[in-house]
């Protein structure tokens, strides 16, 4: 999934009522904060701002999910999750959000659908990583769905490719610290080992992770691979 470098790009999957009411309110609420980040202004974020920005990011990921070719790639976000977002701005369970800084100014979005696979090759869940770049702000949303017959030990145990992520990204959801500072220590660049492309490619892996265990086999690991 990719949105072209066009600030006037229109998405026709959102009804006028949603676009002009709750989505508009969410956008306006985050506009002062996002404007600072887009303009490359160092900005602290308190817990309330982290929550609000994460809700905006999750909403945007849902909208971007809706533009996929559903004949070959079904929607990831469930109707109940979208309804909860619309009604109460509830961020779906097992969702994580990070923000980073890009040295080059750009506009785009990229999505990766993931399959979570157990050691015996059974698919036990699905995930979706959405990366949004707007001017100097980079946002990544990772959401995970586990099938009912399995249980999650820790969603945080699903790990990306090795990288300097702790210095390149600031986690804002779930809330880990009451106050965080943007930008992080290290900036994504237009090319090379720290390029923005590495962020988009962050979850394209197939190595073992301890994310899911069958209910009748607690403690068993699982493999996570791209769909």
Domain boundaries along the sequence of the chain: 12-226
Proportion of the chain above pLDDT 90, given as a percent? 55
Exposure b/e, 193-212, CB count within 10 A at least 16 = b: ebbbebbbbbbebeeebebb
CA distance 208 to 199: 20
Q: Are 188 and 178 in contact (CB under 8 A)?
A: no
- From residue 74, give the alpha-carbon distance in Å to each of 70, 77, 78, 143: 5, 9, 10, 15
Q: Which has more pLDDT, 99 or 4?
A: 99
Q: In Å, how far from its chain's centre is CA 70?
A: 20
Q: Which has more pLDDT, 13 or 37?
A: 37
pTM for the model = 0.82
């Amino acid at each position: 999934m990719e949105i072209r470098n066009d600030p006037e790009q229109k998405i026709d999957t959102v009804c006028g009522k949603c676009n002009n009411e709750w989505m508009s309110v969410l956008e306006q609420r985050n506009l002062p904060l996002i404007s600072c980040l887009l303009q490359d202004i160092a900005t602290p974020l308190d817990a309330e701002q982290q929550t609000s920005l994460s809700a905006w990011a999750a909403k945007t990921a849902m909208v971007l999910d809706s533009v996929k070719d559903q004949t070959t790639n079904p929607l990831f976000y469930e109707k109940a999750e979208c309804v909860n977002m619309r009604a109460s701005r509830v961020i779906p369970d097992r969702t994580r959000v990070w923000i980073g800084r890009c040295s080059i100014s750009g506009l785009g979005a990229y999505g990766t659908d993931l399959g979570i696979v157990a050691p015996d090759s059974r698919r036990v869940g699905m995930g979706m990583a959405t990366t949004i770049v707007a001017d100097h702000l980079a946002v990544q949303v990772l959401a995970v769905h586990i099938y009912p017959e399995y249980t999650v030990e820790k969603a945080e145990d699903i790990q990306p490719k090795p990288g300097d992520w702790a210095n390149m990204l600031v986690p804002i959801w779930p809330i880990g610290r009451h106050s965080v500072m943007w930008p992080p220590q290290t900036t994504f660049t237009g090319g090379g080992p720290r390029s923005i492309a590495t962020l988009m490619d962050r979850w394209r892996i197939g190595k073992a992770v301890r994310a899911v265990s069958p209910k009748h086999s607690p403690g068993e690991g699982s493999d996570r691979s791209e769909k």
